[in-house]
């Protein structure tokens, strides 16, 4: 019997914070708003820690049931929560990183006139995200899923008076809706064929099924549809286009929602549904291919971006691609491991970028930065840690998680591995490009920074300061940076692989969730390498595999250092060189700079025809010619008729009486006629 | 059977004649008081038919109705005459065609 954990409190605490700040924040002081926001998000974090401490005494999965929701025949959905190792990891990441970003936001948003609104939204986001990760069935998960979409929309369009922010919010929402459509259909299929949406029941019914090796069946369809949903939320090809635009939101939002937590919801969902995916090799292959392609393409776009946040946005898309690649080759725990380390270092990168933007007065263009190393040392050092981590430099967290993914993907197919390593090289290159451009060389911005010349964030991030010059951020912003930097460095040590002398405790911790659920052995061998890695890690690895694994680790380290070296050569030693390179590859450079014209392509293929169709047919055709016309003609007709008939309403009492008399005469005549007729 | 000295149809004809007079008076007269009296004439025309039927069918209901009608007519006369006086005080006319403030 499990002790009562009262898991429902974890999401509800931030919701209470959101409600209090949303309703009363406008009239409260900034201090009060801060206290409420921090208290409730901190309480959620504290409670998550408390749950983690009692975790070993639970029999898993721990389930909590609160209330009926839907009842229809034998089908029912309840408000229920579900806690296992996977949700615990997500829970800790979301509340922990979320709390740190709340702290950071105090400094970053202090000058904003809508301070209270920001924290209300941020707490609301926490509520939905925690609902998502703790959900006990797909429908409760879907509430969280849609809810984080809403919070994301609200926060991207936080500065909604700016047109680009408002449309970026809309874009994010609409693109996400496309993905949600797939997710919903998958849910309907689950209801149709398994009669339930509860994780337990669905997975119990799926477990005895064998893998669909011969062709696409039900599970394949469900898997692919779930992946469509994940593509929307987690910004994968072909639905990744909203994430870079989402950078219009305040930087802490980019860090929390569009790097650390919300965008990883897709990875979480796919991992949660691993039982389905393991029986649908085609769907898994789709996941792996989408992940690999996204990782690679987004990384290449990242090379040419000049906006510091856009680089990080494409980097996020690319890293999410890695996670899906891991899921696609069946290495779900590796994907979640990377999700966790990524939450640390990418959250940190965004926060540090925010600190840089704050320091230079709202400038986001890296070409106007440079030489900031001495001026903002705390930001510099923490960002260095994050850059090293994401680039996969040995010893930092990203190294372990990325290496794990690459090794597992090699076991599935060398193609994934090769693209992955190339991507790792590109990642290292663009990250160090960012690092060198921002912190080294000469300062290229305006000599004496006039505050508020940049974007909206400038004036807002700086409202309370009012002093010029480049300066370090206040302590309340630096502390979260330092904490995340420590996590970015040491976060990887929970999952040191066996080949490097560790025992991959992270993988073992998640083991009960992911292992032992693969379809029966003969199927997994029949479907090739896909199911195999799961089995392999359970026993001690043979010596030969270890040396191979070490060799591959070496290759990815070399790739990372190559990227570093290239960036050093191009952006530190000979800063004039990149322009020449760009000029000599001007065709390619143009394409990459314009993000492969994907936005334009989608615009021409989907948006334009849709707008034309809506304008010509739906608006000018159906709406104006049918609906409006019907309403107007009905009105005009009524008017014409009453124009004639209103003469009866003379106001002359005798004419009324005359009508009454005439009417009764008619009635009497009619009755007499009836009476005689009836005889 | 109670001997009926006057056949029912006579009563009905008289009743219809009185009612018709009332209707015509109501329609063609302009003086409010005359119109008012025409209404009373119509009411009493109907009353006559009620009592005639009541006598003919030996049913009391018709006679009871007549009492109701008379009570209502009395109340109506009280309210109606009060309104007529009020109208006359404000408009100094009793011509219905000139009492047309509510007309467009």
User: Predicted ipTM?
Assistant: 0.71
Q: Map out the domains of chain B as residue ranges.
A: 8-98
Does A274 have pLDDT greater than 60? yes
Of chain B, the percentage scoring pLDDT greater than 90 comes to: 57
Q: Is the peptide bond before A238 cis (omega within 30 degrees of 0)?
A: yes
pLDDT of residue A538: 41
Higher pLDDT, A454 or A229: A229
Instruction: Return the higher-pLDDT residue of A414 and A499.
Output: A414
Rounded to an integer, the average pLDDT of A6-33 is 90
Q: What is the DSSP letter of A214?
A: S
pLDDT in tens, A532-561: 344 444 444 456 677 888 888 888 889 889
User: Is A654 in contact with B23 (Cβ distance < 8 A)?
Assistant: no
* Region of poorest pLDDT, from A120-134, A166-180, A521-535, A623-637: A521-535
CA dist A399 and A391 (Å) reads 7
Residue A306: other Cβ atoms inside 10 A: 14
Please check whether residue A643 touches B, CB under 8 A.
Answer: no
**pLDDT greater than 90 at residue A425:** yes
Alpha-carbon span A362 to A131, nearest angstrom? 34
Residue A479 to residues A360, A381, A472, A501, Cα–Cα distance (Å): 19, 12, 12, 33
Distance, in angstroms, between B77 CA and closest chain A CA? 18
Q: Report d(CA A76, CA A287) in Å as an integer.
A: 30
B97 contacts in chain A (CB < 8 Å): 652
Nearest CA in chain B to A660: B23
The owner of tokens 């940049």 is A454
Q: Provide the pLDDT for residue A461.
A: 44
CB within 8 Å: B27 and A651: no
Q: How far apart are CA A333 and CA A495, in angstroms?
A: 10
**How near does any CA of chain A get to the CA of B98, in Å?**
10
Q: Is the pLDDT of residue A459 over 80?
A: no
Neighbouring residues of A43: CB distance < 8 A, sequence distance ≥ 6 = A13
CA B69 to chain centre: 9
* Of residues A163 and A455, more confidently modeled: A163
* Chain B interface, best mutation among A642, A657, A660, A665, by max B CB count within 10 A: A657
CA distance A678 to chain B (A): 23
- Using DSSP, state whether A521 is helix, strand or coil: helix
Check pLDDT > 90 for residue A15: yes
Residues 6+ apart with CB under 8 A from A230: A179, A183, A236, A265, A266, A267, A269, A270, A287, A324
pLDDT of res. A542: 55
User: CB–CB of B96 and A650 under 8 A?
Assistant: no
Exposure class string for B53-64: b at 16+ Cβ within 10 A, else e: bbbeeeeeebee
Angstrom distance (rounded) from CA A635 to CA A428: 68
Neighbours of A395 (CB within 10 A): 12
Contact A129, A144 (CB under 8 A): yes
Asked if the model's pLDDT at residue A126 lies above 90, the reply is yes
CB–CB of B103 and A654 under 8 A?
A: no
Please name which of A479, A459, A605 lies closest in space to residue A161, comparing C-alpha atoms.
A459
| C-alpha separations of A122 from A21, A253, A394 in Å | 10, 8, 34
Minimum CA–CA partner of B29 in chain A:
A654
Backbone angles phi, psi at A81, to 5 degrees: -110, 160
CB of A653 within 8 Å of any CB in chain B?
Answer: yes
From the list A650, A651, A654, the residue facing B27 with the nearest CB is: A654
Residues of B within 8 A of A652 (CB-CB) are 96-97, 100
Given a cut of 90, is residue A427 above it in pLDDT? yes
Residue B78, pLDDT score: 94
What is the pLDDT of chain B when averaged over all its residues?
88
Instruction: For residue A651, give how far its alpha carbon lies from the nearest alpha carbon of chain B (Å).
Output: 6
By Cβ distance, the residue of A652, A657, A658 closest to B97 is A652
**Which residue is associated with the tokens 């891991």?**
A326
Q: What fold is seen in the domain B8-98?
A: Helix Hairpins (1.10.287)
Contact in structure between A4 and A62 (CB atoms under 8 Å): no
Q: Give the residue on B whose Cα is nearest the Cα of A652.
A: B97
Q: Is the distance from CB of A129 to CB of A262 less than 8 angstroms?
A: yes
**Res. A268: pLDDT tops 90:** yes
pLDDT mean over A342-357 = 92
Cβ atoms within 10 A of the Cβ of A157, count? Answer: 22
**In chain B, what residues touch A654 (CB-CB under 8 Å)?**
26-28, 30, 96
Q: Taking CB atoms and an 8 Å limit, are B103 and A651 in contact across chains?
A: yes
Which chain B residue's Cα is nearest to A649? B103
The answer to whether the Cβ–Cβ distance between A661 and B27 falls below 8 Å is: yes
pLDDT at A141 over 50: yes
Best mutation target among B22, B26, B30, B39 (most A Cβ atoms within 10 Å) is: B26
Position A447 confidence tier, pLDDT thresholds 50, 70, 90: low
Task: For chains A and B, count residue pairs whose Cβ atoms are closer than 8 Å.
Answer: 21
Which long-range contacts (C-beta less than 8 Å, at least 24 apart) are formed by A576-584? A582/A304
Interval A47-62: pLDDT, tens: 999 999 888 887 778 8
| Pairwise CB contact (< 8 Å): B100 & A658 | no
Please, how many CA atoms are within 13 Å of residue B83, restricted to the half-sphere of its CB? 11
pLDDT category, B5, cuts 50, 70, 90?
Answer: confident
Other beta carbons less than 10 A from residue A394's beta carbon: 16
Taking CA atoms, A399 is separated from A338, A409, A435, in Å, by 9, 15, 18
* CA pair distance A563, A646, nearest whole angstrom: 86
Helix (H) / strand (E) containing A419: helix A414-439
Residues of B in contact with A650 (CB under 8 A): 103
Alpha carbon of residue A262 to chain centroid: 4
- Which chain B residue has the Cα nearest residue A656? B27
**Span A182-212, pLDDT tens digits:** 999 999 999 998 888 999 888 888 888 888 7
Please list the alpha-helical segments (H only) found in chain B: 8-28, 32-57, 61-91
Q: Which of A237, A260, A222, A230 is nearest to A345 (CA)?
A: A260
Averaged pLDDT, B56-83: 92
Read off the pLDDT of residues A493-540 as tens digits, 9 standing for 90 and up. Answer: 888 887 777 777 888 888 888 876 666 544 434 344 343 344 444 444
With a cut of 80, say whether residue A214 has pLDDT above it: no
N- to C-terminal Cα distance for chain A? 88
List phi, psi (to 5°) of A78.
Answer: -120, 160
Q: Which of A159, A487, A236 is nearest to A347 (CA)?
A: A487
Q: What is the pLDDT of residues A70-89, one digit of tens each?
A: 888 888 888 999 998 899 99
Which of B26, B97, B103 has the CB atom closest to A657's CB atom? B26
Query: Confidence band (pLDDT; 50, 70, 90) for A679?
Result: low
Sort out which chain A residues have CB atoms less than 8 A from B102's CB and list them.
651
> Closest by alpha carbon to A10, among A94, A77, A85, A78?
A94
Do the strands A62-72 and A75-83 form a parallel or antiparallel pair, or are they unpaired? antiparallel
Cis omega (within 30 of 0) on the bond before A61?
yes
Whole-number pLDDT of residue B19: 93
In angstroms, what separates the C-alpha of B99 from chain A's closest C-alpha? 9
| Structure-model confidence comparison of residues A579 and A350, the more confident one | A350
Of all residues in chain B, the one with the smallest CA distance to A646 is B104
Q: Which of A588, A587, A570 is nearest to A579 (CA)?
A: A570
Contact call for B97 and A651, based on CB within 8 A = no
Q: Tell me the pLDDT band of A468, cut-offs 50, 70 and 90.
A: low
Q: Is the pLDDT of residue A179 over 50?
A: yes
Residue identified by tokens 């290759």 is A555
Which one-letter DSSP state was computed for residue B59? -
- Residue contact B103–A650, C-beta within 8 A: yes
- Residue A344 pLDDT more than 90? yes
């Amino acid at each position: 019997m499990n002790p009562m954990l009262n898991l429902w409190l974890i999401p509800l605490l931030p919701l209470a914070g959101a409600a209090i700040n949303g309703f009363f924040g406008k009239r409260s002081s900034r201090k009060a708003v801060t206290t409420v926001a921090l208290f409730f998000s901190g309480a959620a974090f504290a409670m998550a820690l408390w749950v983690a401490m009692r975790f070993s005494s639970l029999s898993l999965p721990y389930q909590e049931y609160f209330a009926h929701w839907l009842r229809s025949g034998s089908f029912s959905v309840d408000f229920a929560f579900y806690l296992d190792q996977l949700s615990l990891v997500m829970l800790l990441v979301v509340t922990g990183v979320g709390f740190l970003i709340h702290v950071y936001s105090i400094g970053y948003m202090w000058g904003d006139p809508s301070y209270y609104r920001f924290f209300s939204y941020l707490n609301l986001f926490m509520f939905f995200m925690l609902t998502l990760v703790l959900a006990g069935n797909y429908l409760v998960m879907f509430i969280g899923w849609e809810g984080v979409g809403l919070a994301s929309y609200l926060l991207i369009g936080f500065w909604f008076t700016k047109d680009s922010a408002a449309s970026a919010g809309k874009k994010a929402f609409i693109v996400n809706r496309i993905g949600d459509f797939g997710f919903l259909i998958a849910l309907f299929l689950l209801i149709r064929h398994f009669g339930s949406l509860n994780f337990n029941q669905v997975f119990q019914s799926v477990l005895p099924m064998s893998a669909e090796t011969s062709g696409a069946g039900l599970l394949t369809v469900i898997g692919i549809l779930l992946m469509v949903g994940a593509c929307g939320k987690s910004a994968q090809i072909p639905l990744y286009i909203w994430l870079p635009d989402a950078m219009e939101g305040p930087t802490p939002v980019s860090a929390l929602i569009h790097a650390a937590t919300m965008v990883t919801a897709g990875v979480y969902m796919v991992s949660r549904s691993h039982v389905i995916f393991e029986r649908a090799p085609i769907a898994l292959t789709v996941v792996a291919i989408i992940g690999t392609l996204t990782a690679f393409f987004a990384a290449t776009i990242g090379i040419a971006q000049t906006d510091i946040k856009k680089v990080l946005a494409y980097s996020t898309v690319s890293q999410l691609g890695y996670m899906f690649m891991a899921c696609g080759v069946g290495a779900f725990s590796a994907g979640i491991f990377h999700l966790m380390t990524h939450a640390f270092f990418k959250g940190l990168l965004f926060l540090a970028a925010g600190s840089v933007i704050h320091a230079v007065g709202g400038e986001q263009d890296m070409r106007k930065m440079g030489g900031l190393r001495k001026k903002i040392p705390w930001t510099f050092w923490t960002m260095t840690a994050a850059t090293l981590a994401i680039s996969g430099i040995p010893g930092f967290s990203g190294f372990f998680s990325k290496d794990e993914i690459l090794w597992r993907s090699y076991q599935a197919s060398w193609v994934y591995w090769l693209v992955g390593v190339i991507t790792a090289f590109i990642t290292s290159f663009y990250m160090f490009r960012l690092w060198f451009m921002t912190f080294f060389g000469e300062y290229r911005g305006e000599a004496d920074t006039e505050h508020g010349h940049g974007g909206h964030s400038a004036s807002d991030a700086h409202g309370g300061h009012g002093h010029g010059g480049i300066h370090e951020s206040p302590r309340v912003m630096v502390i979260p940076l330092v904490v995340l930097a420590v996590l970015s460095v040491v976060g990887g040590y929970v999952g040191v692989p066996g080949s490097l002398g560790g025992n991959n405790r992270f993988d073992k911790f998640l083991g009960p969730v992911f292992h032992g659920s693969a379809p029966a052995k003969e199927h997994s061998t029949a479907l090739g390498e896909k199911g195999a890695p799961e089995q392999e890690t359970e026993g001690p690895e043979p010596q030969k595999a270890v040396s191979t694994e070490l060799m591959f680790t070496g290759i990815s380290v070399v790739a990372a250092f190559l990227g570093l070296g290239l960036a050093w050569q191009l952006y530190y030693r000979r800063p004039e060189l990149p322009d020449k390179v760009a000029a000599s590859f001007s065709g390619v450079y143009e394409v990459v700079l314009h993000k492969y014209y994907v936005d334009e392509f989608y615009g021409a293929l989907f948006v334009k025809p849709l707008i034309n169709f809506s304008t010509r047919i739906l608006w000018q055709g159906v709406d104006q010619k049918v609906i409006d016309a019907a309403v107007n003609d009905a009105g005009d007709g009524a008017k014409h008729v009453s124009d004639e008939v209103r003469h009866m309403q003379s106001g002359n009492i005798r004419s009324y009486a005359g009508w009454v008399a005439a009417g009764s005469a008619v009635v009497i005549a009619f009755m007499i006629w009836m009476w005689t007729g009836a005889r | 059977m109670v001997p009926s000295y006057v056949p029912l149809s006579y009563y009905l004809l008289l009743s219809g004649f009185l009612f018709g007079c009332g209707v015509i008076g109501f329609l063609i007269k302009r003086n409010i008081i005359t119109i008012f009296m025409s209404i009373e004439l119509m009411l009493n025309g109907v009353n006559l038919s009620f009592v005639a039927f009541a006598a003919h069918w030996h049913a009391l209901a018709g006679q009871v109705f007549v009492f109701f009608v008379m009570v209502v007519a009395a109340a109506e006369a009280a309210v109606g005459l009060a309104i007529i006086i009020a109208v006359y005080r404000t408009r100094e006319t009793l011509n219905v065609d000139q009492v047309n403030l509510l007309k467009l």
